[in-house]
Structure 1
Amino acid sequence: MSPRDTTDVRAITEAEIADWIRALNTGFLRSPAVSERELADRSSYIVPERTLGAFDGARCVATFRSFPQELTVVGGAAVPADAITNVTVTATHRRRGLLSHMMAADLAAAKERGDVVATLIAAEYPIYGRYGFGPATSTAQWTIDVPRTGLDPRWAGPDDGGRIDLVDGEDVRKTGPELHERLRRAQPGAVSRDDRWWQANTGALVLDRSPWTEPFYAMYRSAEGEVEGLVSYEADDNWGDAKQPLNTADVNWLMAVTPRAERALWRYLCSIDWIARVKTGWRAPDDLLPHFLPDPRAARITTQSDWLWVRVLDVVRALEARTYAGSGTLVLEVTDRDGLSAGRYALDAGPDGASCAPTTRAADLTLDVGELAALWLGDESAVRLAALGRVREEREGAASVADALLRTSRRPWCPDLF
């Protein structure tokens, strides 16, 4: 009997949660020990039916979990998504098809449930294209050299009539969820957050595996008194040989629903005494940040990468959910080796809405379901993919038509890691 034949892949039971956590910690190279606090915390939100494990005898050797999520598409509508996380395979059991088995079971269940897409944040690039996922958003991190920004060091607050106040975690829990809802409804690629996110990110829920250090929180209110921005940040303690402060402010997260709030918060961070550098955390790849500074070169990109990966499960609903700046028709031949979304689809799109349906008409473009995911939120170019040989034009100029329909003026962005 082969090693694969001895491994049982299935949904876990409540009694197996501790062993599942041990395998999860092992896969992520954390201490495999499972404390009572971690067990109680994870047991409070894990849904066993959506939590898969591979068991070799009594020992869990692979993990996989999904949960319900909403993903914002172009135009502001939200579609139901199957959010995938906690994916590991123990080093002793690699290359046995365990992830493929778990992924197939989860995606089939998600499609049966009626989810439009599946989502995940990929730790490694080569893995998830095999399952029909494509990189749908990107992210970037900047490091700001504060003395080089050209900002007036005497500046201490917004110059637009608004104000910035330091607040505490309780204030963030009160105002943050509503502010985030405003942000995600306007930001293609953004995803929903549950109450647990706010608890864990403001110290109300302290996780055993992540020692809590209280950060600073700053809130921007407009001249009208409306909360339009929040930032969470920490600072180190670093002094040079000549007793000059060289401290760095590390941004945990910053959200703003207006450019004026965004500008005010970044300028506030650059105005703090002793702060010589600001590390921005994960931001949109076309973030406005550099151009809020008199010298945009003071903000240099230190990380740039793919971020949210999407797997389209329902082509018709996915293409009908979003809006389109222009008008046009496009027939797509979608290939999908797993058969979940394969077919030929006619898209008739315009500013007033879109219709999509299976068709027997000749295809304009042929593409894999993963490439469709890369195009769907407007971040990728069909012309680029055609040049790379990943999209095939069946009608000359069809890739340009696809770009005119699908691409967006601002790039999609997912602020969350899950």
Structure 2
Amino acid sequence: MTSSIVVQLQESLTHMKSQQQYRSLPSLEHQGRYVVSQGKTLLNIASNDYLGLGSDTELQGEFLKQIDRLPVAQRPKMSATSSRLLTGNDTQLQALESELQSWYQNATDKQNLSASKSVLVLNSGYHANLGILPALTSLPVKTLILADKLVHASIIDGMRLSQSKLVTYRRYRHNDYEHLARFIEQADETVERIIIVTESVFSMDGDRADLLQLVQLKAKDARIELYVDEAHAIGVLGDTGLGLAEETHTLADIDYLVGTFGKAFASVGAYIMCDEVVKQWLINAMRPLIFSTALPPINHAWTRFILAKMPNLTHQRTHLAQISIKLSRAIDQQHRASPTSQNISYDSPIIPYILGDNACALAKAKQLQAAGFYALPIRPPTVPANTARIRLVMNAKLTNEDCERLIQQL
């Protein structure tokens, strides 16, 4: 690297610091539901560990004892050592896919889920969103992708990789389905396929997509396919934790449903539920799957262990909803993501505390940390300009007393 490039990089970093947009990796020690940062023990309200399973040492101990009881030769390996198409397709991974499929089928008999639906496990949510759309749009079919303005960066990157002479994408205003409908109406007659892409629960605002309205839009045009990223809803919403699609009875209408294990599951990896033919196409065309070493079998074993418990974690989901509603209602109008919202219903455990200015968000984070809460500022470009915030995240290990103390600080 030339010295001039190093100088330019340093100047750009200096500019980031002047705009309060500079980031650095924190040095943390995890102790159950707390983190130790710079010598201070702080209650963690920044993690996506929504059900508190990642900090549950008893649960981890139960899993390790289960592994110890197995003969050494049958214990899950610590590395897959190659991609799934080589030697990485371990029995743990195949069993996980089968059990995920049963989870959906057993919980959705009343929703007429097609028997042709199948599950494909992937290395991460980012891998999933980066690779699925490019693979789906690699056919010689004129395609229009319409995505919510606030979809995750991984989806945006996937759309960019999909763009070609035959594939274009546009982004409709956040949760504005009239705007989306106009894009559909304006689609050229030569467009053979329209893929609507949304998150079910949005990662920064914590609000929900209206899946029922999207399904109604889909029903009006045979060209439309629906791609829903349930990363922040899996484990949290629905009677058995199957997400917003389960809660709204729209599972049968979603063509590509993406879920992750790195949040409420307290594990690692992701999956897509789709038609069996689509699954086979992804195996043959999805570059992040083809060219990546599979996750270690021990991780898939842990995910299976959590999956077996997930349908029965109703108490945790109920408590999570209660404290999330309590915190959401305590935030005044000027700091809400949606100033017109009355916060009378439960959207998700993600409650943004909007401050607008980067410096204000940094100062508020420091105040909360001084009060014993590990809260972090979220600034552009992660969120839109002038919407810097504290992303408050509830989890099922937090008590009502914890919630009250947090409200006092706000």
Task: Indicate the TM-score class for this superposition, using the shorter chain for normalisation.
Answer: under 0.3
Higher helix content, 1 or 2: 2
Greater relative contact order (Cα 8 A, min sep 6): structure 1 or 2?
A: 2
Q: TM-score, normalised by structure 2?
A: 0.26
Flag the structure with larger Rg.
1
